[in-house]
Structure 1
Amino acid sequence: MSPVETYDALRHFADSWGLVMLGLIFLGLVGWTFRKGAGAEMDRAANSIFEDDQDTGHGQ
């Protein structure tokens, strides 16, 4: 196989199966976010920036 043929084969593979793989990863991450029981964890992460700085010792 010449380098050009190898490149073309890999390019066709990435164009087809790469797209499928990235789509599945995206769906998995979205599903992970909206899974049952994740609400409390997401609320804690969203509100963590509002917690008092006394916990870290960097408060005023």
Structure 2
Amino acid sequence: MDTYSILRAFADSWVLLAMALFYLGAILWAFRPGSRKTHDDIAGIPLRNDRPIVAKDGE
């Protein structure tokens, strides 16, 4: 058996399983209970330093 076939068989089985578990773990981490405060804080970053636009006199 050549190296390519061995690596291909390994990738088709264990690496696929590892990637699927990582994906599920990332989804569960994002939707875990108690993370809403963190997500709301991060969502407000672009608006945090905005100043209201004030029209100059005569415009």
The secondary structure found in structure 1 opposite 2:42 is helix
1:1-60 equivalences under 5 Å are 5-52=2-49
Using the TM superposition, give the Cα deviation of residue 20 of structure 1 relative to its aligned residue in structure 2, in angstroms: 0.6
Between the aligned partners of 1:29 and 1:39, the Cα distance in structure 2 is 15
Report the aligned-residue RMSD. 1.6
Task: Report the TM-score when normalising by structure 2.
Answer: 0.76
CA distance in 2, matches of 1:46, 1:12: 42
Q: Residue type of the partner of 1:18?
A: V
- Give the ranges of 4+ consecutive aligned residues of structure 1 lying more than 4 Å apart after TM superposition: none
Q: How many residues align?
A: 51
1:15 shift after superposition: 1.2
TM-score, normalising length: structure 1:
0.75
Identity of aligned residues (%): 41
Identify unmatched segments of 5+ residues in structure 1.
55-60
Aligned partner letter, 1:43: D
Higher radius of gyration, 1 or 2:
2
Going by fraction, where is helix more abundant, 1 or 2?
1
CA deviation profile, 1:23-43 (whole Å, cap 9, x unmatched): 000000000001111000011
